[in-house]
Amino acid sequence: MTLALPRPALTTARPAETFVERRRLRRLGLRKPVPFARLLGVVVVLAAWSAGSYYGLLDQRKLSAPWTVLGTGWDLIRDGTLVENTLASLTRAGIGLGVGVVIGTVLALIAGLSRLGESLIDGPLQVKRAIPSLGLIPLMILWLGIGETFKIVVITLGVVVAVYLQTHAALTAIDKRFVELSEVQGVSRLQFIRSVVIPGSLPGFFLGLRLGVTSAWLFLVVVESVNATDGLGKMMSSAQNYGQADVILVCLVLYGVFGLISDAGIRLIEGRVLSWRRTISN
């Protein structure tokens, strides 16, 4: 017997917006998103930064001009320093993010689909959420030393919590009527997971993934300042000792660019996978 539940992924194509609908959305302030509109705030900040530097309103020893930062970045690229350290940082962030997403998703599925699993997993994860991950660094150093394992484990812990919390919340928020309908029709557990659980948890999973990416970059900066031999965080620590504000800004700009690109990529994938949803953002 097949499951006769509504499957959002199979809905028909959305009809074109009518003139009346567009006027209603405009009146409510819910306009259709404009491509690259999120970059407007970045452009405004860059313009203010450039104007302040040009007219001498900003101390160049503390906040270098944008053109100075670009020149420093180009010099660091030519001598290979920036490329080498960027690759080291991307490797650490990528491994920590990948492992964290897998562990966080698996734990969320176990806790969300099993009362016993929730009893065993949710409590410790909630306790972990209450304990700042950065506060665990001294203990992680004591257990793992200050090598690569320590850095990747700290990043992974931050990602696991972000992915688990959002995915588990989405799983436990699935409409109970779908569960009751599944029981009435006698569908198998595998069918229930494929037709109800996965579609219902995807929005929470993507939100957790976005927060996990942010956590990965955040913890990367911290762990690379702890006796690292390479990485953008190490470059920033060394530049701080020598008062090189331009080098620090180069690294911060790279962190911002990577964070913006990764978030935009996840948004793009989310929009394709969840194209069946009608929201104010699409």
Instruction: Please report, for the domain that includes residue 250, its CATH number.
Output: 1.10.3720.10
Which token pair is 237?
């620590």
- 266 CB-contact burial (10 Å; exposed 0-12 / middle 13-18 / buried 19+): middle
When pLDDT is cut at 50, 70 and 90, the band that residue 176 belongs to is: confident
Segment 91-140, tens digit of pLDDT = 999 999 999 999 999 999 999 888 888 889 988 898 888 887 778 888 88
Residue (of 256, 225, 262) closest to 69 by Cα position: 256
Q: Tell whether the model's pLDDT for residue 164 goes beyond 90.
A: yes
Residues 6+ apart with CB under 8 A from 152: 92, 95, 96, 99
* Residue 27 within any structural domain of the chain: no
> How far apart, in whole angstroms, are the C-alpha atoms of residue 94 and residue 69?
26
Q: Is 75 inside any structural domain? A: yes
Q: Is position 269 within any domain? A: yes
22 part of a folded domain: no
| Residue 52 domain-assigned (yes or no) | no
Distance CA 83, CA 88 (A): 9
266 in any annotated domain: yes
- Determine, yes or no, domain membership for 69: yes
CA distance 96 to 153: 7
Separation of alpha carbons 170 and 112, rounded Å: 9
- Asked whether residue 49 is domain-assigned, the answer is no
Q: Find out whether 87 and 145 touch, Cβ atoms under 8 Å.
A: no
Domain count, the chain: 1
- Alpha-carbon gap, residue 44 to 48, rounded angstroms: 6
In whole angstroms, give the CA distance from residue 204 to residue 89.
27
Structure token digits, residue 35: 């491509």
Which comes out higher in pLDDT, residue 188 or 4?
A: 188
Question: Could you report the per-residue pLDDT of 1-43, keeping only the tens digit for each?
Answer: 444 444 444 444 444 456 566 666 555 555 555 556 667 887 8
Return the higher-pLDDT residue of 191 and 166. 166
Across the chain, mean pLDDT equals 82
**Domain encompassing residue 233:** 65-273
Please state, for a pLDDT cut of 70, what percent of the chain lies above it.
84
164: nearest Cα among 102, 246, 235: 102
